[in-house]
Amino acid sequence: MAQQLEPIAKMVAQLSRLPGIGQKSAQRLAYHIISMPLEDVRELASAVYQGRKAIQYCQVCGNYATGETCSICENTRRHNGQICVVRDPRDVAAIERMRDFQGTYHVLHGTLSPMDGIGPEDIRIKELLSRLSDGAVKEVIIATNPDIEGEATASYIARLIKPMGLLVTRIAHGVPVGSDLEYADEITLAKAIEGRREM
């Protein structure tokens, strides 16, 4: 007997390509899927494929959208005087969960990383600049990650935009709320002290 039937082996191979799913988990998932009613498996497969197919990028900001533009860009109650620049659509989702920010977004779809050969042409910087040309935008909030690539990208964009006379801000770095100082890394602590405010 072949160690595993070909349809099962194929399913395991595909599942194990997903992040965080190793060979063992893929096998367990495949056996579970095979024990599921066919109709349920059809729904699962269809939610995955049709879901992927339905999602495109907003032509304005680059966020996930089901049409040409995303629901945030289409929402006339959002202030288009503020643009929050993030690396990818899940960062938009994270900021939206906060329910506090009323501006719009710009998704770069990456950050500058010379080591990986990712330069300014490879992320959506040109598209950001063209959005700034109509004079409606007053502030660009750069919310890339506080890591090397994120900081480099933030500085790069700030250098481009400042001469246009716009306010360019960077999200604050510091000790996370509810965390313990003792466990904060040195760079975060340094940033927290550097960014201190009068009480």
Q: 83 and 137 in contact (C-beta within 8 Å)?
A: yes
Query: How many residues sit in the footprint of its own copies (CB under 8 A)?
Result: 55
User: Which residues lie closer than 8 Å to 143 by C-beta, 6 or more apart?
Assistant: 84, 85, 86, 91, 95, 171
As a whole number of angstroms, the distance between CA 193 and CA 8 comes to: 55
Q: Choose, by CB under 8 A, the member of 32, 126, 196, 197 that binds its own copies.
A: 32
Q: Which is nearer to its own copies, 70 or 85 (CB)?
A: 70
Does position 159 interact with its own copies (CB under 8 A)? The reply is no
Query: Under rule CB under 8 A, which residues in 47-76 are in contact with its own copies?
Result: 47-55, 64-66, 70-72, 75
From the list 44-52, 124-132, 167-175, 182-190, the region that binds its own copies by CB under 8 A is: 44-52
Examine residue 94 and tell whether it contacts its own copies (CB under 8 A).
no
Q: What SS3 class is residue 66?
A: coil
Two structure tokens written together for 172: 């604050």
Please state the closest distance from residue 119 (CB atom) to its own copies, in A.
20
